[in-house]
Amino acid sequence: MAAARQMLMEQQQSLQVQRVKNSGIMSCNGSPVMEDKEDEMSRSALALFRAKEEEIERKKTEVRDKVHAQLGRVEEETKRLADIREELEALTDPLRKEVGVVRKRIDTVNKELKPLGQTCQKKEREYKEALEALNEKSKEKSQLVTKLMELVSESERLRMKKLEELSKNIDTLK
């Protein structure tokens, strides 16, 4: 189910990326279709960004839920082990070894919890850095697309001007 959802999201993102790429294409007569294409590109980029953002948030929530579930289980186990320890202390010396084993297990579980929390914090930092990098690249791309459209427009204007001059020169030769 999660794999199917992931594949669907990847297909949607691929279509949105294709729409963004196609948004810079010129119309048949050579003039740029600026406003509509910019709007479409903005919507596509925004939809792509939102889809990625939702996916990242969903994964982040899943990891956080898993950590909380693990913490809940550990707390329950700690309570159960404390109860067991009390019962063991009430018993005679032969059970002292088992109490030591249980205590060691509690210590081991506590040691395992610390890296899990650190990993979660590290992943959150990485997510923020990746999001910032994504935003910067998106901004850069937008600027480059704008620059390209300006250059193409200027080139067309200069070529039309030159063609008009040549046409006038031909007309004066007649």
- List, for residues 63-116, the tens digit of each pLDDT value: 999 988 888 888 898 999 898 888 877 766 666 788 888 999 999 999 998 898
**How high is the pLDDT of residue 84?**
87
Name the pLDDT band for 25 (thresholds 50, 70, 90). Answer: very low
**How high is the pLDDT of residue 100?**
85
Other residues' Cβ atoms within 10 Å of the Cβ of residue 71: 13
Long-range contacts of the stretch 154-157 (C-beta < 8 A, 24+): 156/30, 156/31
Smallest CA-to-CA distance from 148 within 38, 42, 43 is with 38
Tell me the two tokens of residue 32.
């740029």
Name the pLDDT band for 37 (thresholds 50, 70, 90). Answer: confident
Residue 130, C-beta contacts closer than 8 angstroms, at least 6 positions apart: none
pTM: 0.34
Mean pLDDT of 137-144: 95
46-3-65 Cα angle (round to 5): 80
What does pLDDT average to over the chain? 83
d(CA 163, CA 161): 5
Residue with structure tokens 């406003």? 35
- List, for residues 115-129, the tens digit of each pLDDT value: 988 999 999 999 999
Other residues' Cβ atoms within 10 Å of the Cβ of residue 23: 19
